[in-house]
């Protein structure tokens, strides 16, 4: 999955260059509202402080009361700071955090852009406090929205040219390997791309027709303190 030493820089470049355009996408977006509703439908209650990996311009962090955010693209971080999110330029593979320092860590729509997803999950396990929660939102690669985004990737869409899309079973396998117990899964976004006309209610479990899946997990075998090197990316 890793695409060379500069994989994260390739992914971050377009979001830095087109930060304002990407941020405007969220304005009056029913898709954004559906995704937020699905995350809010989780029965678990993530604690604070919370961190969002791939915070971007802070749209999700602002609505979900997430305290901190990291992202490798500098321009979106300036927008997130205006939304009162404490931000840092860094990558998920090397979180600039102390062991057991976060009550909740969020991976929302960033999984497809990670150079090394399993390494990120192990870092998340290291940084979560005992009893903390990982909240992950993903577009299943085998669903209608995943297929649509793959088509955009094949057509060299600037935001998706370096993206990789995964199936839920594959991601659940990574979570288990990284020492997580999956607590809850919810599915949403059953309207097809280009056909969204109303807000949806999520349902429990994995549905193959869903365009968005939310996973709540908890480390049951946390990575030992000091297991990974912590450093901020430059």
What pLDDT was estimated at residue 220?
84
Nearest C-alpha neighbor of 135 from the set 173, 167, 109: 109
Print burial letters for 82-114: b (CB count within 10 Å at least 16), e (below 16). ebebebbebbbbbbebebebbbbbbbbbbbbbb
CATH architecture of the domain covering 29-40+47-188? 3-Layer(aba) Sandwich (3.40)
Question: How is the chain split into domains, by residue range?
Answer: 29-40+47-188
Which residues, given as ranges, of the chain have pLDDT below 50? 1-5, 227-234
Q: What is the DSSP string of 123-191?
A: HHHHHEEEEEEEEEEE--TTSHHHHHHHHHHHTT-TTTTT-----HHHHHHHHHHTTEEEEEEEEE--S
pTM for the model: 0.89
pLDDT in tens, 30-54: 999 999 999 999 999 999 999 999 9
């Amino acid at each position: 999955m890793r695409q060379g030493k500069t994989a994260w820089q390739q992914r971050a470049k377009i979001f830095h260059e087109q930060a304002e355009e990407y941020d405007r996408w969220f304005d009056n977006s029913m898709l954004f509202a559906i995704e937020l509703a699905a995350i809010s439908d989780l029965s678990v209650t993530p604690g604070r402080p919370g961190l969002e990996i791939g915070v971007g311009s802070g749209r999700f962090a602002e609505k979900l009361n997430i305290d901190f955010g990291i992202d490798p693209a500098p321009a979106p971080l300036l927008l997130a700071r205006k939304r009162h999110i404490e931000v840092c330029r860094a990558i998920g593979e090397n979180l600039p955090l102390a062991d057991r320092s976060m009550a909740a860590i969020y991976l929302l729509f960033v999984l497809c852009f990670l150079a090394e997803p399993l390494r990120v999950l192990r870092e998340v396990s290291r940084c979560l406090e005992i009893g903390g929660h990982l909240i992950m939102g993903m577009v299943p690669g085998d669903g209608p929205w995943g297929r649509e985004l793959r088509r955009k990737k094949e057509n060299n869409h600037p935001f998706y040219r370096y993206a990789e899309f995964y199936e839920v079973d594959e991601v659940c396998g990574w979570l288990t390997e990284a020492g997580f117990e999956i607590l809850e899964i919810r599915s949403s976004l059953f309207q097809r791309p280009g056909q969204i006309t109303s807000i949806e209610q999520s349902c429990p479990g994995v549905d193959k027709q869903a365009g968005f899946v939310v996973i709540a997990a908890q480390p049951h075998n946390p990575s030992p303190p000091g297991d990974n090197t912590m450093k901020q990316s430059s």
